Amino acid sequence: MSFRPPKGTDDIGAPASTRWRDVLRQWDTWADRFGYPLVMTPIFESTDLFERGVGEDTEVVTKQMYTFTDRGGRSLTLRPEGTAGVVRAFLDSGARGPWKGAYSGPMFRHERPQAGRRRQFWQLGVEYLDVDGPAADAEVIELGYRFLSAVDVPGLEVVINSLGDTVCRPGYVSTLRSYLEAKRDVLCDDSVSIIDVNPLRVLDCTVCAPVLTDAPAMKDHLCQPCAAHYGLVKKSLENLRIPFREDARLVRGLDYYTRTAFEYIATQLDAAQNAVGGGGRYDGLAESIGGRRAPGVGFALGVDRIVLASGEDVGPQVDVYLVSETGPEDALIAASVLRLAGLRVDFDSEGRKVEAQFKTAGRLGARAVVVQKGQGDEVDVRIDEEREQMALEAVPAWLGTRL
Ligand code: HAM
């Protein structure tokens, strides 16, 4: 067969998918714990929604969207991110907030593929809408931090900044633009080309970073309400004992952000794609897509990067592998008993030799092996160095204290 997945996309199967499933499961638990019900929006939306929501000058909109015309002549785009669609759905529903939604699904960006940068990738995210207060920002940041800690992302760092609002940002942007104009000669071509359209993004350029150490910082130009908001977000994070680092150069790649912006960094990953997640407040997004004022805050985490950061060790695919000396029909019944008791169990349905069955148990990383020796109820249970004979029905309780 000569077909391969399209460039920048992947087929994901075991063993890597074992880790994926674990991450997605834990996400459901944590989103639920913080009071975020599931929200599902279409994978494609009107192209306009992203142009107006994400921002016409952003790289995502100018270079990365998968846009097509459908048979009815409409311009549609595969969602490059989840926020614009969720805010649209919220406005469309007529709901009044505070309103929470959590999502999980594939997003699409035509990027140059590399490890952790894919053309189809999976985001987990939340949006909290119709909320103005800094406690909402802190709660959102906390959820991402607790979840990423629970799924063991190594070297996790929370980085935050404030991007101001429509009152204080324009003044800062023109100060920054003048500063960058004066540095034109030492900036890279890409940076020079965006000084006019989006000078904030120059701060994000890793090539130019060494010559921008004395750049003016947004946090020194915040208006009083933005400064107070930012101060309270930081205070709450301290109260929650969430370690964070401030970075005046954190600007984010999408245009809708106001005030709080943050990223979760996995310091072990390559710098170019070590953000396992990012988010912030977007008080003007709802209006920019034609709705009423609905301030909000949220984040999205990249599952591809979370899985990449956590390395090769995916853990066992099953709790028990059932090895049968008497054949697959007996094994099927015994496996069913253990499964109904809540254990993750697999067995060989093909009647292969006992040695081959043990090999499979090893390959799946089974924590315990249950050996069915005769037609009776007695089985041999092996876990680490321990070995016991018992009735099949007794196995779940016995393993329960050991797995
Ligand atoms: P973003 O920073 O563009 O924000 O993406 C969030 C995360 O998605 C990134 O930190 C990264 O982990 C993952 N990601 C992005 N692009 C790729 C890619 N090409 N391949 C693999 N992973 C990727 C947003 O999308 C905002 N909607 C977040 C948000 C929600 N802000 C407020 N609410």
For ligand 1, atom 10, name the residue with the nearest CA: 277
Are 269 and 137 found together in one domain? Answer: yes
pTM of the model: 0.95
**Ligand 1: which residue has its CA nearest to atom 25?**
81
* Closest by CA position to 277, among listed 163, 164, 143: 143
Residue 259 Cβ < 6 Å to ligand 1:
no
Is residue 38 classed as helix, strand or coil in its secondary structure?
A: strand
**Ligand 1: does its nearest atom lie under 6 Å from the Cβ of 144?**
no
Within a domain: 87: yes
The helix/strand count (H/E) of the chain reads as 13, 15
Regarding whether 338 and 303 lie in a shared domain, the answer is no
Domain assignment present for 106: yes
| pLDDT tens string 267-322 | 988 888 899 999 999 999 999 999 999 999 999 999 999 999 987 777 889 999 99
Ligand 1 proximity of 347 Cβ (cutoff 6 Å): no
Looking at residue 107, its amino acid is M
Q: Decide: helix, strand or coil at residue 259.
A: strand
Q: Are residues 304 and 330 in the same domain?
A: no
Q: What pLDDT, on the 0 to 100 scale, is given for residue 403?
A: 85
In this model, does residue 375 exceed pLDDT 80? no
The domain boundary, picked from 286, 310, 334, lies at: 310
Taking the CA of residue 82 as reference, the ligand 1 atom at the shortest distance is 27
Same domain for 333 and 262: no
Atom of ligand 1 nearest to the CA of 281: 32
366 pLDDT higher than 80: yes
**Token duo for residue 95:** 């709901």
* Domain extent for 20: 16-168+222-310
Can you tell me which atom of ligand 1 is nearest the CA of 83?
27
Q: Does the Cβ of 255 fall within 6 Å of ligand 1?
A: no
- Give the distance (Å) from ligand 1 centre to CA of residue 77: 17
Distance CA 117, CA 110 (A): 10
DSSP state, 364?
T
Residues 378, 335 share a domain:
yes
User: Crossing angle for the helix pair 134-150 and 224-239, nearest 10 degrees?
Assistant: 40
Burial of 294 (0-12, 13-18, 19+ CB in 10 A): buried
Q: What is the mean pLDDT of residues 356-373?
A: 96
Q: Which atom of ligand 1 is nearest to the CA of 254?
A: 3
Q: What is the pLDDT of residues 222-237, one digit of tens each?
A: 999 999 999 999 999 9
Q: Considering the chain, what is the average pLDDT of its residues?
A: 95
